[in-house]
Structure 1
Amino acid sequence: MVGGSDRVRIEPWSEGDLDLLRRINAPEMKRHLGGPETEEQVLARHERYVRFGGGGQGCMFRVVALPDGVPVGSVGYWERNWHDQTVYEMGWSILPAYQGRGLATAALLAVVDAARVRRTHRYAHAYPSVDNAASNAVCRKAGFELLGETEFEFPKGRLMRSNDWRLDLTATDRP
């Protein structure tokens, strides 16, 4: 166990999480992210997630709902160059059957704690689509500050209109 709360636990992504990633790749889960990926892209993403934790530039986790211990999504952080500064980008996905229960916010707070412990970068950012009300609410509830709208490339080659949310990882207060 890496981190969590009484609602979720986050665990490093592992070989056994491929089926979870396939479930996350559903059209309803990817509508704000350019649509589902091909099987080849999912397999490549899974391999990146498995290897990622050892690289020191971030980590991907499966989100486990408590008390049942059911894997319900993913959350992670990774390095990104943003406005000439290296920051952590954070992202998450919670399966539809488990949405609306505060699990995404709890998972995001757990991954913030994991990134904060590293003491590598001052800021973490999240870039949900301006149309993704649920993900923008997660950022707000997790204590991120809305800096405004921006053009953001995701997936590669596709610009989307996103909100730029920022959290100071050196701050000690927590929502």
Structure 2
Amino acid sequence: MDGSGVERVRLTPWSEGDFWLLRRTNSPEMTEHLGGPESEEKLADRQRRYVEPSAGRMYRVTLADGGESVGSIGYWEREWRGGTVWETGWGILPEFQGRGLAASAARALVAVVRRAGGHGALHAFPAVDHPASNGVCRRAGFTLLGQADFEYPKGNWIRSNDWCVDLRAAPANGSRPGPTTNRHDR
């Protein structure tokens, strides 16, 4: 291992068969900082977007030593401060939280997004009162730029931290990109 921990997880492009995982992460516990669970109709719409992304991609996060699904992570375009950037978000199932898997997945995703190109920065916007997700950003090598307000979902304002990785910069530790099981990365 190169010290980054990315070998602990694999990122597999989202597929039709992953709807069960989307449903599992739609619990009150998992969506507490995102405005709460979505309706079945909104989940079905999200599944369609995840399977056929136009810019960016969603991944199922699996353990590298057995393939057990532990959560999801992805990236997509966001208009931010006068330009277009990549944004990321993740969810690790409760029974796998606290093991560093989200930070490993975020480091692997940074490598994927770097290869994909397109924009110079990858941002994460966890709620300021969500210590676990802010800790993931810190451990994954993101830089805290400040705070911002976001409406997500519509009608629900969230005070967030703006964490960023400069994708044009060389990886901090010179590590090689993290593993994925499929190279359909754009």
TM-score after normalising by structure 2: 0.88
User: In the alignment, what sits opposite 1:118?
Assistant: 116
User: In the alignment, what sits opposite 1:147?
Assistant: 145
User: In the alignment, what sits opposite 1:107?
Assistant: 105
Task: Identify the match of residue 80 of structure 2 among 79, 82, 87.
Answer: 82
Q: Give the Cα–Cα distance (whole angstroms) in 2 for the partners of residues 156 and 49 of structure 1.
A: 20
4+ long deviations beyond 2 Å? none
**Letter of the 2:42 counterpart:** Q
Spell out, residue by residue over 1:41-72, the C-alpha distance to the aligned partner (whole angstroms, 9 max, x if none).
111111110011xx2x1000000013121111
Aligned length: 169
TM-score after normalising by structure 1: 0.93
Specify the SS of the correspondent of 1:36: coil
1:173 Cα deviation after fit: 2.6
1:171 Cα deviation after fit: 1.1
Q: Give the Cα–Cα distance (whole angstroms) in 1 for the partners of residues 115 and 154 of structure 2.
A: 30
User: In the alignment, what sits opposite 2:65?
Assistant: 67
User: In the alignment, what sits opposite 1:92?
Assistant: 90
User: In the alignment, what sits opposite 2:179?
Assistant: none
Specify the SS of the correspondent of 2:11: strand
Q: Give the Cα–Cα distance (whole angstroms) in 2 for the partners of residues 107 and 10 of structure 1.
A: 7
User: In the alignment, what sits opposite 2:27?
Assistant: 26
Q: Give the Cα–Cα distance (whole angstroms) in 2 for the partners of residues 174 and 29 of structure 1.
A: 31
Q: Give the Cα–Cα distance (whole angstroms) in 1 for the partners of residues 7 and 85 of structure 2.
A: 28
Q: Give the Cα–Cα distance (whole angstroms) in 2 for the partners of residues 99 and 76 of structure 1.
A: 18
1:6 Cα deviation after fit: 2.2
**Letter of the 1:101 counterpart:** R
Q: Counterparts of 1:16-55 in structure 2 under 5 Å?
A: 16-52=17-53, 55=54
1:154 Cα deviation after fit: 1.1
Spell out, residue by residue over 1:143-169, the C-alpha distance to the aligned partner (whole angstroms, 9 max, x if none).
111111110121133211100111100
Q: Give the Cα–Cα distance (whole angstroms) in 2 for the partners of residues 114 and 43 of structure 1.
A: 26
User: In the alignment, what sits opposite 2:181?
Assistant: none
**Letter of the 2:99 counterpart:** R
Q: Give the Cα–Cα distance (whole angstroms) in 1 for the partners of residues 169 and 99 of structure 2.
A: 26
Q: Say which is worse superposed, 82-91 or 66-75, in terms of deviation.
A: 66-75
Specify the SS of the correspondent of 1:31: helix
Gap runs ≥5 in structure 1? none
**Letter of the 1:106 counterpart:** S
